[in-house]
A = this chain, B = another copy of it.
Amino acid sequence: MQIGQAAAASGVSAKMIRHYEAIGLVAPAERSQANYRAYGASDVQRLAFVRRARALGFSIPQIRELLRLWSDHHRSSAEVKRITLAHVAELDRRIADLRAMADTLHELADACCGDKRADCPIITSLEGPALTPTRRNRRGLESRVVAVNARPLV
């Protein structure tokens, strides 16, 4: 099987298959007489494993570990679980960060009339920390202050 077919079969682009080989995530493929990479069913399976792990947001170093554990029949599921939970914790952190941004922006957008006038609480909020509390939502204001003065998160 050439790389194009392996790509179609595994769902990983040919470009990425070569990349994974280059960084040592998968072993170098066999080569045909014409120096074309040749793949078998188990290679495709491995690539599909990587694709699924990527789809779940695992990083390459994590996938490296998962692949090692996959082929290790003496593995402990505890180790797999540890990697997974660490990754979930990271996802939860990122979600919380994005959620905080989105909430702040939702709030500012709600307060912005969005017509032809120049007056805009969104701009005002970016202008400086001199935020005018909306009666509507005091708790929201505090989260806004935190978010707006925080370091970039993404």
Bound-state Cα–Cα, A76 to B53, Å? 45
Copies of this chain, count: 2
User: What are 9 A-B pairs with beta-carbon distances under 8 A?
Assistant: A53-B126, A55-B153, A57-B101, A70-B127, A77-B113, A77-B119, A87-B105, A91-B101, A95-B98
Please report which residues of chain A, range 80-101, place their CB below 8 angstroms from some CB of chain B when the two chains form the complex: 80-82, 84-85, 87-88, 91-92, 94-95, 98-99, 101
What band does the interface of chain A fall in when counting residues whose beta carbon is under 8 Å from B?
Answer: 35 or more
Task: Tell me if A48 counts as interface (CB < 8 A to partner B).
Answer: yes
Bound-state Cα–Cα, A5 to B11, Å? 51
What B residues does A101 contact at CB under 8 A?
A: 55-57, 91
Check B56 against A123 for contact (C-beta < 8 Å).
Answer: no
A92 (CB) vs chain B CBs: closest residue: B102
